[in-house]
Amino acid sequence: MSRILLIDDDAGLGPPLTQYFRRFELDLATAGRPSEGLALLRSGRFDAAILDVMLPEMDGFALCRTIRAESDIPIIMLTARGELTDRVVGLELGADDYLPKPFEPRELVARIQTILRRQRGTGGGARRLQFDGLELDLDTHGVLRQGEPVVLTSTEFALLALLARDSGKVVSRDDILNHLRGHDADIYTRAVDILVSRLRKKLDPLDCIRTVRNAGYALALGRA
């Protein structure tokens, strides 16, 4: 059973979600304050975290930044304000997905399941992809950049693996969004651009992700 942590100060949200999650083999733990949530994350094993944007002590963005500095656990942000800026900021800070409030529990479960599948890896084919200066292990989600390990979130790894499987070929933004899923259409171009920017920073000094104007992105590395 996968363990999920919800950090939200709405005391009425946790109990019904906990019962609902059990139907899908998801064990939900709850925390009402960021400090409590961080303590739980640091002391136990969780497969994903759900953060509300509006929290006491610190907002969800600051909490996301703190968690991301310590862990690559998948993060879903909840925002009641529904503003595009909130969603963009969450992605820039390393969140894997976002969901506006109010939401249907089934949609939240679906997004968690998508992230968990992505994290565990799917499909067959070559399980290690090797390029000049870059190596991906599709089973462990390990990445080596010039021999040094690089920590990626599950979404970042999914994007890199998609580009790597079709190395040299242009992958359109539509294809990337369809592969990653979970993002609303009103942010799709921005979401992909943010993810690519995050990947480029982590893979630096490898200048390996090429932008093809009005077409998409391609991994520009030769096979090792």
**CATH number for the domain that contains residue 101:** 3.40.50.2300
Last residue of a domain, one of 99, 120, 141: 120
Q: In this predicted model, which residue has the larger pLDDT, 187 or 206?
A: 206
Contact 48, 95 (CB under 8 A): no
Give the tokens for residue 148: 């040094």
In order of 80, 129, 201, 219, the CA distances from 141 in angstroms are: 33, 11, 18, 17
Please name every residue paired with 209 in a beta bridge, in sequence order, or none if there are none.
Answer: 219
| Structural domain that includes position 107 | 2-120
pLDDT in tens, 9-52: 999 999 999 999 999 999 999 999 999 999 999 998 999 999 99
In a domain, 78, yes or no: yes
Dist. CA 74–CA 68, nearest whole Å: 9
Q: Are residues 146 and 57 in the same domain?
A: no
Q: Are residues 21 and 85 in the same domain?
A: yes
Pick from 17, 90, 103, 16: which is nearest to 53 by CA? Answer: 90
Contact 90, 98 (CB under 8 A): yes
pLDDT in tens, 91-138: 888 898 888 889 999 999 999 998 888 777 544 455 788 999 999 998
Contact 73, 49 (CB under 8 A): yes
Q: What's residue 183's pLDDT?
A: 43
